[in-house]
Structure 1
Amino acid sequence: MRYHRDDVVDRALVVLDAYGLADLTMRRLGGELGVQPSALYHHFPNKQSLLAAVADELLERGRRTPRPSGWDARVEAVCTELREAMLAYRDGAELVATVRAFGLGAGTPYDELVAALTDGDLDPALVPTAARTLLHYVFGHTVDEQTHLQAGSVGAIEDAPREDSDFALGLQIVVDGIRALAGAGSR
């Protein structure tokens, strides 16, 4: 059977969720699709480009619209959506953060944060730093949540799953700091 690029990405998401990022290999994916791993290179020149496409699809599947109108509400919506999209798949946070760090993809949340922050009267020189700070908070918090959940589920730690997440409160602290900078003329 001949697969299209979208079929390969769809199956890669299934493999990611079932086995984790470390086991999302071209060999395993080829086996899942019933093709030789070399057949995947017709669609992707290397594993990194495959991972970038998988990360972009993961984010697209978690996308919600419309966005709120206020800059701060938009920032919170983008960050919450990003967290939820990454939590929807095993190792989703590690995948998206890695792809973003390598500059291979997963750029939409950053672009949306820059657009929202630009609308918030923040000094334009601070906008990229504020957007990266928000991403780092979301990535770090979500990796911590996923790692704790996965370690608990396989018995590696004795902690029970966390009942409540402090994600929203932490995000509010970061957004309040940005709001304070914007209100102070972003000295």
Structure 2
Amino acid sequence: MRLRRSNVLEGAMRLLEEEGLAGLTMRRLASALDVRPSALYWHFADKRALLDAMAEELVSGVPDPDETLPWDERVAVLARGLRDALLSHRDGARLHAGTFVSGPHTLRLGNALLAALTDAGLPRAQATGTVFGLLHFVLGHTIEEQARDELRAAKQWDPERVVAAAGDFPELAAGLAAFETASPDERFADGVGGILDGVRYRVGFRKGGRDAASGAVE
């Protein structure tokens, strides 16, 4: 059977699930597909190109929000959708971090977030910066979430030890204890909520007669 680009991409996603990002090499992928490594380079110039394509494939699973929803609900839907997509594959967030993807699914996600934030009342430049800040939060949160899952599976994560280590700093210890009782879903929702609150503050600040970025009276 002729090796197609889609075959390589599907095989790479399977290998990611089986071996994790560290185990995803072009040589191993070629072996899994029963082809010579050189056959892969007909479809992807190098491993970076393959990783970019895999990141785009992950983002394809992010659903579009209902455009009739308020701006903040649309942002929350998109953020949750991206997190779910990254969690759908082992090391999904680590795979996506550091890629520079300009595929249609990635652009669709960015455009939907930007539209929601400009609808909120942010100037386009500020809204664009907020899009990247939100995406960085989702990626960072999900990287940590997947890393903790691996540590728990290996029985190497001990939250009580983490809290105890902060014993000389009572406020931090109390905060860590509370943090560890919250579920990943709760932590994620709280982080996204904080970003949305920041957008509301900036919009309200501007409407109040001051520029949110500089603090100068308009």
Q: TM-score, normalised by structure 1?
A: 0.89
In 1, distance between residues paired with 2:75 and 2:110?
10
2:196 paired with 1:175: yes
SS of match in other structure, 1:125:
helix
What letter matches 1:179 in structure 2?
Answer: R
Match of 2:33 in 1: 33
Q: By how many angstroms is 1:170 displaced?
A: 1.4
**Correspondences of 1:109-148 after superposition (within 5 Å):** 109-148=109-148
User: Are residue 164 (structure 1) and residue 183 (structure 2) matched?
Assistant: yes
Higher-Rg member (1/2)? 2
Corresponding residue pairs, total:
183
Give the equivalent residue in structure 1 for 2:6: 6
Other-structure match for 2:164: none
5+ long unaligned stretches in structure 2: 161-179, 213-218
For 2:62, the aligned partner's letter is: R
CA distance in 1, matches of 2:118, 2:94: 28
Specify the alignment match of 1:82 in structure 2: 82
- Displacement of 1:111: 3.0
Q: Note the alpha carbon deviations across 1:89-144, whole angstroms, 9 max, x for none.
A: 11100111221xxx244733333222221221112231121111101111111111
How far did residue 67 of structure 1 move?
2.9
Deviation at 1:66, TM superposition (A): 4.3
How far apart, in 2, do the equivalents of 1:104 and 1:65 lie? 19
Letter in 1 for 2:55: A
The corresponding residue for 1:64 is 63
8 Å CA contact 2:16–2:23 kept in 1: the answer is: yes
> What is the CA RMSD across the aligned residues, in angstroms?
2.1
Partner in structure 2 of residue 18 of structure 1? 18
Q: Which shifted more, 66-75 or 17-26?
A: 66-75
Whether the 8 Å CA contact 2:86–2:93 is kept in 1: the answer is yes
**Which runs of 5 or more residues in structure 1 are unaligned?**
none
Q: Report the AA paired with residue 2 of structure 1.
A: R
**Worse overlay, 1-10 or 50-59:** 1-10
Identity %: 39
Q: What does residue 169 of structure 2 align with?
A: none
* C-alpha distance in 2 between matches for 1:156 and 1:94: 20
TM-score (ref. length: structure 2) = 0.77
Do 1:21 and 1:95's aligned partners in 2 also have CA atoms closer than 8 Å?
yes
| CA distance in 1 between partners of 2:85 and 2:64 (Å) | 14
Partners of 2:194 and 2:154 in 1: CA distance: 33
